[in-house]
């Protein structure tokens, strides 16, 4: 409790000391004008520092301030310019230093010269500034990702496409097939890395589909085993008849891959990685680092490693962007924050438990979407890929033009090509009666794909369009779209669906 002043006229000061939430300290000045013993404190200061008043009375202020703060305080008093402002680091009862943004002035209290310190705890403000700084970093990453995604993924799409064409032309037993398959796989994996950055910035539209987590895990099993290496035992325990979730499959790929790579790095001397899936029901609300899980049905994905574990102080920060415990050059601090961001975008949740020396478990919860579909034993109908229509292909990347043109022509389509939007207008002017579909890149010099679409639709209302790009932030709702890089079968299926008026726009989040 704040000490009552001796002078009855100081009741106003007493009320201020008692009820103010800020830290107000009254400190005796020596004959040499140096701050010495504490004479009184506000209730806010006592609560902040955690000391009882009896312990604080007559305590020398130098015992509470760090060396630099005490020195600066004396320097300002020597200048005899007041009031003056500075930040004082003051030690609380638990040993932690609290930064006080302080305004200081001299005066009289109970008949003696004193120093008045009016301070505010700046920790909350600093935390807000740190969060704003992180947001600015995220925006910078988003701008960087958006800037490089189109050009970089165009190159990767060309490499991937030409590798696919080469594999199609070579016999399966050709000695170059294995190397070309590796090139094809690496190009697609690199493209996924760019997508991670773009998705992390939340500028990437995600296409949600009905998805079976078990199938995604199984399809990635061989690739994950290669990532993990021979020293890590990889165990998959999936529940039969697992319920369906609605998610962007490429996002789920990224989530699983990132988690497994993190687990591998936590086991430098080898160990065991276990992936489990299960249908669960949450009976009561549960708070996780990614939000409040409400009661209901969920699909549980668990990834557990037997690595070194995570210290408690690190565990609190593992989902923060750019926070990494790895050495410089071995980690960006984006892996877990990307996972966190993708899960949040899909209204899903993640939590982590870990013990030093005993490993780490990440538990993810995806909202239930549908019961698993019964297996149809009837042989599925063969997909229709062939056609005889005429297509205008507009693309400024030469390698990609070769891949797209050959893929379409192989299945019977007649293809005209234009290397930019302006050339496309020239081609369309002479061939407009022939052209059934325009496939155009979104970002091109002079006239981009969206602008081209608007111009041609005025000339030929109802003209069918397919936009392709490595970056989706400029797209308009309702426009058929393929994200680069893509396989020829995906292209052909989409083209056939558009021409047959059977194209269904995917859901986005």
Q: What is the pLDDT of residues 392-422, one digit of tens each?
A: 999 988 888 988 999 999 999 999 999 999 9
pLDDT at residue 333, rounded to an integer: 39
High-pLDDT (> 90) share of the chain, %: 35
Predicted model pTM: 0.53
The answer on pLDDT for 203 being more than 90 is no
**Which pair of tokens denotes residue 483?**
């994200």
pLDDT at residue 140, rounded to an integer: 66
The answer on pLDDT for 147 being more than 80 is no
Backbone angles phi and psi of 418, in degrees to 5: -140, 135
SS (H, E, C) 485-503: CCCHHHHHHHHHHHHCCCC
Query: Is the CATH number 2.40.50.460 carried by domain 213-371?
Result: no
- The fourth-level CATH superfamily of domain 390-508 is Response regulator (3.40.50.2300)
**Residue ranges matching CATH 3.40.50.2300 in the chain:** 390-508
Q: Supply the DSSP symbol for 355.
A: E
CATH for 8-121 is 3.30.450.20
The answer on pLDDT for 8 being more than 60 is no
SS (H, E, C) 86-129: EEEEEECCCCCEEEEEEEEEEEEECCEEEEEEEEEECHHHHHHH
**Which pair of tokens denotes residue 259?**
């988690």
Task: Provide CB contacts within 8 A for 279, sequence distance 6+.
Answer: 239, 241, 242, 243, 297, 298, 299, 300, 368
**Residue ranges matching CATH 3.30.565.10 in the chain:** 213-371
**Residue ranges matching CATH 3.30.450.20 in the chain:** 8-121
Task: Give 269-310 pLDDT, tens digit per residue.
Answer: 999 999 999 999 999 988 888 788 999 999 999 999 999 888
């Amino acid at each position: 409790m704040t000490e009552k002043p001796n002078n009855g006229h100081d009741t106003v000061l007493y009320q201020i000391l008692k009820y103010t939430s800020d830290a107000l300290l009254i400190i005796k000045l020596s004959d040499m004008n140096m701050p010495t013993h504490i004479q009184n404190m506000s209730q806010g200061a006592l609560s902040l520092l955690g000391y009882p008043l009896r312990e604080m009375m007559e305590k020398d202020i130098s015992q509470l301030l760090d060396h630099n703060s005490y020195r600066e305080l004396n320097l300002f008093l020597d200048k005899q310019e007041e009031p003056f402002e500075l930040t004082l680091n003051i030690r609380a009862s638990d040993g932690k230093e609290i930064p006080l943004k302080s305004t200081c002035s001299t005066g009289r209290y109970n008949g003696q010269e004193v120093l008045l310190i009016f301070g505010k705890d700046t920790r909350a403000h600093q935390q807000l500034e740190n969060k704003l700084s992180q947001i600015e970093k995220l925006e910078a990453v988003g701008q960087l990702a958006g800037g490089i995604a189109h050009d970089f993924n165009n190159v990767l799409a060309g490499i991937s496409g030409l590798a696919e064409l080469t594999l199609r032309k070579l016999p399966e037993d050709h000695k170059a097939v294995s190397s070309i398959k590796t090139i094809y796989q690496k190009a697609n994996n690199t493209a996924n890395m760019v997508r991670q950055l773009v998705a992390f910035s939340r500028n990437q539209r995600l296409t949600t589909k009905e998805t079976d987590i078990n199938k995604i895990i199984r399809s990635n099993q061989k690739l994950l085993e290669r990532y993990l290496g021979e020293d890590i035992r990889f165990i998959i325990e999936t529940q039969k008849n697992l319920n369906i979730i609605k998610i962007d499959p490429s996002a789920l790929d990224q989530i699983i891959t990132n988690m497994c790579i993190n687990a591998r790095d936590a086991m430098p001397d080898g160990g065991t990685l276990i992936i489990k899936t299960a249908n669960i029901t949450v009976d009561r609300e549960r708070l996780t680092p990614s939000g409040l899980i409400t009661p209901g049905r969920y699909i549980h994905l668990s990834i557990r490693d037997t690595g070194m574990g995570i210290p408690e102080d690190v565990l609190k920060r593992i989902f923060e962007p750019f926070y990494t415990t790895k050495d410089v050059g071995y980690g960006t601090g984006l892996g877990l924050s990307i996972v966190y961001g993708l899960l949040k975008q899909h209204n899903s949740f993640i939590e982590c438990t870990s013990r030093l020396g005993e490993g780490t478990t990440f538990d993810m919860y995806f909202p239930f979407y549908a019961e698993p579909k019964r297996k149809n034993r009837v042989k599925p109908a063969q997909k229709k890929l062939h056609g005889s229509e005429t297509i205008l292909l507009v693309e400024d990347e030469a390698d990609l033009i070769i891949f797209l043109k050959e893929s379409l022509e192989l299945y019977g389509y007649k293809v005209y090509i234009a290397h930019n939007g302006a050339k496309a207008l020239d081609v369309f002017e002479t061939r407009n009666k022939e052209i059934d579909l325009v496939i155009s890149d979104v970002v091109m010099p002079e006239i981009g794909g969206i602008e081209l679409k608007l111009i041609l639709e005025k000339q030929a209302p109802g003209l069918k369009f397919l936009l392709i790009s490595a970056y989706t932030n400029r797209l308009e709702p309702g426009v058929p779209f393929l994200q680069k890089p893509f396989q020829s079968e995906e292209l052909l299926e989409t083209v056939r669906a558009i021409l047959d008026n059977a194209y269904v726009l995917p859901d986005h989040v």
